[in-house]
Amino acid sequence: MVLNFFKRDKIYLPGEQIDKYTIVKIIGEGRYGICYLVSNNNKNYILKQLKKEMLKKIGKKVCFEEEILSSINHNCIPRFIEKIEKDKFSGYILEFKEGKTFEEIIFKDDYIFKRKEIYKICFQLISILKYLHSMGIVHRDIRVPNTLYNNGKVYLLDFGLARWINDERYTIDVDFSYLGDFLLHLYYTSFEIVNKKSKPWYDELNLYKEELMFLKRLMGIEKKYKSLDELEHDFLCFKHYEI
C-alpha cells in the first residue's frame, strides 16, 4: 500500500522576510492558505500565502478572491494591495483591519451580545451585502471566524469562496442563510440551558415573533427571501428595533 502525503508548505516565522514585508506573527491556517500579520515601513498588513497543493487542485478558482477583492472598494472590507509571486511563493497582501473575530469574542471571551447590539451588527452586515450584491458578488461564507468586530464596527473577511452572481449556482440567497446562521451564534451567547433535552433553535431561544420569522426566512424554514430589499424591509420593521 502506497501512502501519498502532501508536501507541507513552508511556514514563515516572525522576523522572516517575504518580498518587502516582515512576518510579525501567524494569524491562522486554513485549507487553502496561511495568513500572517506582516509589516512594512511601520505599517501592518495581512499576507495570505496560497498553498501549492491546493493551487494545483483548484486551479483557476483561486483567482476569484484576487479578482473580486481587486474590484471592490468598501471601508468594511480589507482592500487588496498587491500580489506576490516569487521564490516558489504565491500570495497577496491585504489591508489590515483592527479587531477580533466574532469567533474569538464568543468562544474565548465568552461575551454576551445584547439584543440591541445584535440589531446593530445585523444592520451593518446587511449594508455590506447590499454593496456586494450591487457589484454582482455573493460572499458565500459569512461566519463567525470570517467577521471582525472593533468598537462596534463590523468587517467582512475571507473572500476565498466569493463568486460572481450568475443566478444558477451562485445566487444571493446563500448569503441570506449564512447571515441567519451567523445571527444565531450571537443570540445563543445569552442562552441558558435549563433543560438537558435538545430542542431546535426556534423552540429554545427567547425571540420576538418578528425576529423568529426573520430568522426562519433567512434559514429557509419559512418562505425564503427573494431579495435583499425584502429582507431589509422585514428587519427594519422590528417593533423593538433600535440603532
Q: What percent of the chain has pLDDT over 70?
A: 91
Residues 123, 236: Cα–Cα separation, whole Å: 9
Chain centroid to CA 78: 11
The stretch 102-130 carries a mean pLDDT of 96
Chain centre distance of CA 91:
19
**Cβ neighbours of residue 161 under 8 Å, at least 6 residues apart?**
139, 140, 141
Please give the average per-residue pLDDT across 35-58, as a whole number.
Answer: 86
Gap between the Cα atoms of 102 and 163, Å rounded: 23
Which conformational region is residue 119 in: left (phi greater than 0), alpha (psi within -120 to 50 degrees), or beta?
alpha
Enumerate domains of the chain plus CATH numbers: 17-95 (3.30.200.20), 100-236 (1.10.510.10)
pLDDT number for residue 89: 87
Distance from C-alpha of 34 to C-alpha of 48, rounded to nearest angstrom: 6
Instruction: Please check the confidence at residue 209 and state whether its pLDDT lies above 70.
Output: yes
Residues 216/222, Cβ–Cβ less than 8 Å: yes
Written as one string, the DSSP assignment of 198-235 is: ---HHHHS---HHHHHHHHHHHTSSSPPS-HHHHHHHH
**Which conformational region is residue 130 in: left (phi greater than 0), alpha (psi within -120 to 50 degrees), or beta?**
alpha
Residue 51 and residue 35: Cα distance in Å, rounded? 11
What is the structure's pLDDT at 1? 41
Please give the pLDDT value at position 240.
54
Mind listing the pLDDT tens digit for each residue in 57-106?
Answer: 665 566 788 899 999 999 999 999 999 988 788 899 999 999 999 999 99
Residue ranges for the known binding site for ATP are: 48
Assess whether pLDDT exceeds 80 at residue 206: yes
Write out the catalytic residue numbers: 141
pLDDT(191) > 60: yes
Walk across the sheet containing 33-40 and list its strands: 17-18, 21-29, 33-40, 43-50, 89-95, 80-86
Q: What is the pLDDT of residue 63?
A: 73
CB atoms within 10 A of CB 155: 21
The Cα–Cα gap between 74 and 93 comes to 16
Asked whether residue 5 carries a pLDDT value surpassing 50, the answer given is no
pLDDT of residue 135: 97
Cα dist. 42→22, 38, 63, 177 in Å? 10, 10, 29, 40
The string of pLDDT tens digits covering residues 146-177 is: 999 999 999 999 998 999 999 788 999 999 99
pLDDT given for residue 55 in this prediction: 63
Identify the pLDDT of residue 4. 44
